[in-house]
Amino acid sequence: MAQRFGGKYSPTSRPPTPQNDDEPPAPRGAYDGARVDPAGARANVLFVPAIPLVFISLNDGAIGMTLGLVAAGMLTLAAWLLREGLRAESAYHARKVARRPAFPRKMAASLLTGLGVAVAAYKTDPGILAPALYCVAATVLHGVAFGIDPLKDKGMEGIDTFQQDRVARVVEEAEKYLGAMTDAVKRAGDRQVEARVERFQSTARDLFRTVEEDPRDLTGARKYMTVYLMGARDATIKFADIYARNHDAQARADYLALLDDLEKNFAARTTKMLQDDRSDLTVEIEVLRDRLQREGVRLD
């Protein structure tokens, strides 16, 4: 279904107004922080080879059909693992503090691709040498084309892994609330409201990234990531149900006002946590200077 464009240069957008220093910053754009899905056509096209392989194998007898179906299943699983591995790698690079993927999906996809090609080759050329050569060639080419998974943690020096695990669980729960909001607001059928929800979600994810980088902030941000987001999800579901029935303008205005208040509170909490981090840095610098002066090091 076609959707009206609702960006910065849309005819329905309001012209920017000058702001004073005391006023809050301008609202974020609808696509601020948006990223292209790393699992694009280059990865999705790898689902295609399994389809003709299945149809070709149907008339090859019991053994040929079984080998063809096994090879097609391996290639399909490899394509799925590659897609998930690319997304996990993108999330890894998007964070300043991240652990390596628990399971190397991209490398497993390369190996499964090689095995799937080997089984398909064995179906038409029984033997050991030819399928083995095809397996090695396909595995190497797949690995060269898509690379390997991140093999080490990033930015984890000095971070309590127990606290990091707690943050990961809370962030996972918060992402479920955001996903439920996205699913619910689509039922309303209002593109501008959907864009407004996306902007709020970008602000909420800024808070998530700040807590991930410094797990000590979890105590102060936990209610934002659980209680407030749970309430936002419930309000979104109720708004979508009401607005889908009768397009109540007052309900729409109240819901947008709620998103405005939530976004301001989330942004203020993120700013406060960043200011606290800077204060901690200032204290560390002053302590180090005092120690250096006591040791007789002159600081100009």
- pLDDT single digits (tens) 155-186: 666 555 667 778 888 888 999 999 999 999 99
- Asked if 215 and 159 count as a contact pair (C-beta separation under 8 A), the reply is yes
* pTM of the predicted protein model: 0.60
Averaged pLDDT, 76-102? 85
- Asked if 57 and 67 count as a contact pair (C-beta separation under 8 A), the reply is yes
Compute the distance between CA of residue 75 and CA of residue 142 in angstroms, rounded to an integer. Answer: 12
> Is 299 strand, coil or helix?
coil
pLDDT tens for each residue of 127-148? 889 999 999 999 999 999 999 9
Q: In DSSP terms, which residues pair with 98 in a beta bridge? A: 154
pLDDT at residue 300 tops 70: no
Q: Considering only 155-164, 204-213, 271-280, which range has the smallest mean pLDDT?
A: 155-164
pLDDT score of 225: 87
Averaged pLDDT, 122-127? 86
pLDDT at residue 50 tops 60: yes
